[in-house]
Amino acid sequence: MTNSSESLEPLSVSLSPQERFEEYLQTRGLRQTNQRKFLIDAVFQEHDHFDADELIDRLPRRGEKNYVSSATVYRTLREFVDAGLLKSFQLDGRTVYELDYGYPQHDHLYCTVCRQLIEFQSRELMSIRDDVASEKGFRVSGHRMIIQGICRACGKLRRKKRKQDLV
């Protein structure tokens, strides 16, 4: 689990994720299927970070109504990323997804103890990014910044534990 209790508020956007995806599909001659509609709802009920496995776990099982095969889940998650609805990145080997469409750009702190992702925003970070890139003649398409460490809560637990160990 990488759910974060500290997530950012959605922005207001003119199209809903569903509408936005519809537009994406239409401009490419792709189809609106029940699976895609169902998955977009499932995904935008998420508030935080998730991976394919966690998502599949919360979806109907084989045989149940609205079952979607995992191959389709994987395929569709990639489409959502292409469509700009989700962002994805790698963490501890697995692919983590988060809502992108309608959410402000941000980066993450990652607690290596509880594996929680905490979001933060920094304008300065963006401007450093752009300065560095232009200095190297680089056309930026995006970036990924993750600060690893130990969060406040886990830090407290550790200190408590060390104290106990001394007793």
Partner DNA sequence: TTGTATGCAAATAATTTGCACCAAA
Partner DNA sequence: TTTGGTGCAAATTATTTGCATACAA
132: contact with its own copies by CB under 8 A: yes
Check residue 96 and report its DSSP letter.
E
111: contact with its own copies by CB under 8 A: yes
**Could you say which of DNA, its own copies, none residue 53 binds, taking C-beta under 5 to 8 angstroms by partner kind?**
DNA
Decide: helix, strand or coil at residue 37.
helix
Closer to DNA by Cβ: residue 94 or 161: 94
141: contact with its own copies by CB under 8 A: yes
Q: H-helix or E-strand containing 120?
A: strand 117-120
**CA–CA separation, 91 vs 115, rounded Å?**
10
Residue numbers 14-43 binding its own copies by CB under 8 A? none
Q: Reading across the β-sheet that carries 86-91, which strands appear in turn?
A: 50-51, 94-99, 86-91
Residues that bind its own copies (CB under 8 A): 90-91, 93, 109, 111-112, 118, 120, 122, 124-125, 128-129, 132-133, 135-152, 155
